[in-house]
Amino acid sequence: MKTLISWMAKMHDFTKNMPIEVDEEGPTCTFHKEFYQHDRHLILYSNNDNDADIRIGKLLTVLKQKYPKRNFESHPLNIPDVINIPKIKSKVETLIMKECKDDEITIFFSPGTSAMQISWYLINEAGMFNTELLQVRPKQHSNSRKPELLKIEVEKSTIPGSSIIKEESVAHHKENYLITDSLKPIYSRASMIAQADQVTTLIFGESGSGKEHLANYIHKESARSSNPFIAVNCSAFTDELLESRLFGHIKGSFTGASSDHKGLMEEANGGTIFLDEIGDISPYMQQVLLRVIQEKKVLRIGDSLEKKIDVRIITATNKNLPLKCMEGSFRWDLFYRLAVTELTLPPLRERGVKEVEELLNFFITSKQKIFKRPKKLKLDKKSRNYILNYSFPGNVREIENLVENLYVFNTESVSMETLPERLINTTDESKLDLKTVEKLHIKKVLKMAKSKQHAAELLGCVINTLNKKIKEYDIKTENTF
């Protein structure tokens, strides 16, 4: 099918006089009079203007009267900011995916704001759809004194969807969270994902590493930012409760269902739902969720009528999902549906002492306001060194909680006496010195190996060296072999 798609030109498709009347010399009417050779015309307009519905109604009336055999469709788009290029582009790409992704698409470039026109350019350049860009030179600017049809030639990108314009820097989202140097490439990729509205995202990372913040960042950077962002911890519910929370139920569908209840998928309609700890859901819930993703419909418990939803799904896990798939405890087909795009957050212990110190200072500054202290806490040298040499298995969340703890028990300065016990008497797993790391690695290999000789081979040493290390580190091997 050949589809023409364009914006309604609020100014140029209508006369300047009141009441509102269609200008038959305007760009849309001119295109239909001189150049239309398509199966249908999708006319987009922003429904945030007070008179937008009146204007599109009048324009369609005139076009249908003049060309009764042509197929016209109007599509309102919620665009509160008509100069926000990323959001306009994302909205239009979503519409194209739904309405005409397999068509031969002619984009009538002329109508619309400059941001709308740049969005057309980026969509065409990305090469995701079969598009061409056409514009019309008005007759008053043409040597022939007739309207001229011009094709805008663009060399398309070899990487689909690669053209992204960022109007906000990462710093815009730093109010309650510090995006350190190691995270900036990840957040840059998240910005690209935010513009691709049709894809799911799976975030890998240990507990407390900032998965929910990253998901929220994608939401805020996307065209859905004015709609709900809802986060759900999947591991906190039984199957029945999780199904009810996500999809809703009707009155009487189970004991305690005293009224109809809308699920969180419906509550998030138009926005984003973040499913944390997705690796913990049961095989039954995996099957249900897979169907929701495929059909874009939800069925409330006890109901027989499905409801359509328009929700972006972002999931996260601290589990090795590919391994769970190989073990048979997680569905490969669901994994592939969830992991169209992937992001991985590194644990804090891999991000270096410099970043730990940056986060420590950041939270000391930000928590001062929350705890209403006249001065920021000061750490003496010894306590600061203990904190910086701690591995923080709870990641960013643990360092934030630590600073809150310090504000509770200290007024102006922090010494060793007021540090939490776990920082002073650390377990081996929390230490970063070379000897402890070596000891833990040897213990890990001994558990994996079939014998001491096999362990020595895996470690790349002779058996005598391994025995010496076992004795030095007092490693118990009685139950290992």
Average of pLDDT values for 56-72?
92
And the tokens for 302? 């006890």
Assigned domain for 200 exists: yes
DSSP 302-367: T-SS-EE---EEEEEESS-HHHHHHHTSS-HHHHHHHTSEEEEPPPGGGSHHHHHHHHHHHHHHHH
Residue 166 has pLDDT above 60, yes or no: no
Question: Where residue 342 falls among pLDDT bands split at 50, 70, 90?
Answer: very high
Question: Where residue 95 falls among pLDDT bands split at 50, 70, 90?
Answer: confident
Assigned domain for 164 exists: no
Our count of domains for the chain comes to 4
d(Cα 192, Cα 181) in Å, to the nearest integer? 18
pLDDT digits (tens, 9 = 90+) for 346-397: 999 889 899 999 999 999 999 998 888 889 999 999 999 889 988 898 999 9
CA-closest candidate to residue 133, choices 145, 121, 146: 121
pLDDT digits (tens, 9 = 90+) for 284-316: 999 999 999 999 999 998 888 889 999 999 999
CA-closest candidate to residue 174, choices 149, 150, 198, 210: 210
Tell me, yes or no, whether 426 and 439 share the same domain.
no
Tell me what pLDDT residue 407 has: 92
Alpha-carbon distances, residue 319 vs 134, 152, 344, 351, 390 (angstroms): 49, 49, 12, 20, 24
Look up the CATH number of the domain holding residue 210.
Answer: 3.40.50.300
Tell me what pLDDT residue 176 has: 62
pLDDT digits (tens, 9 = 90+) for 69-89: 999 999 988 877 767 787 788
d(Cα 278, Cα 272) in Å, to the nearest integer? 15
Tell me what pLDDT residue 266 has: 92
Look up the CATH number of the domain holding residue 365.
Answer: 1.10.8.60
Assigned domain for 481 exists: no
- Backbone φ, ψ for residue 235 (5° rounding): -75, -10
Residue 326 has pLDDT above 80, yes or no: yes
Assigned domain for 297 exists: yes
Give residue 65's domain range.
Answer: 2-152
And the tokens for 320? 């090795």
Alpha-carbon distances, residue 169 vs 173, 174, 217 (angstroms): 8, 10, 12
Which of 315, 344, 373 is the last residue before a domain boundary? 344
Mean pLDDT taken over the chain? 86
Assigned domain for 159 exists: no
And the tokens for 382? 């010894």
Cβ count within 10 A of residue 165: 12
Question: Where residue 431 falls among pLDDT bands split at 50, 70, 90?
Answer: low
Tell me, yes or no, whether 217 and 362 share the same domain.
no
Look up the CATH number of the domain holding residue 111.
Answer: 3.40.50.10770
Residue 424 has pLDDT above 80, yes or no: no
Tell me, yes or no, whether 297 and 424 share the same domain.
no
Tell me, yes or no, whether 416 and 456 share the same domain.
no
Which of 118, 152, 186 is the last residue before a domain boundary? 152
pLDDT digits (tens, 9 = 90+) for 212-262: 999 999 999 998 888 899 999 998 888 888 998 899 888 877 766 778 888
Q: What is the DSSP letter of 473?
A: T
Tell me what pLDDT residue 187 has: 94
Instruction: Give ∠ CA 309-6-220 in degrees, rounded to 5.
Output: 45
Tell me, yes or no, whether 366 and 399 share the same domain.
yes
Tell me, yes or no, whether 426 and 438 share the same domain.
no
Assigned domain for 479 exists: no
* Residue 8 contacts residue 45 (beta carbons within 8 Å): yes
pLDDT digits (tens, 9 = 90+) for 395-407: 999 999 999 999 9
Assigned domain for 49 exists: yes
Tell me, yes or no, whether 322 and 186 share the same domain.
yes
Tell me what pLDDT residue 170 has: 39
pLDDT digits (tens, 9 = 90+) for 109-133: 888 888 888 888 888 887 778 899 9
Tell me, yes or no, whether 290 and 321 share the same domain.
yes
Assigned domain for 477 exists: no
Tell me what pLDDT residue 168 has: 39
Which of 326, 344, 362 is the last residue before a domain boundary? 344
Tell me what pLDDT residue 4 has: 94
Tell me, yes or no, whether 103 and 244 share the same domain.
no
Tell me, yes or no, whether 297 and 181 share the same domain.
yes
Tell me, yes or no, whether 444 and 425 share the same domain.
no
Residue 162 has pLDDT above 60, yes or no: no
Tell me, yes or no, whether 455 and 401 share the same domain.
no
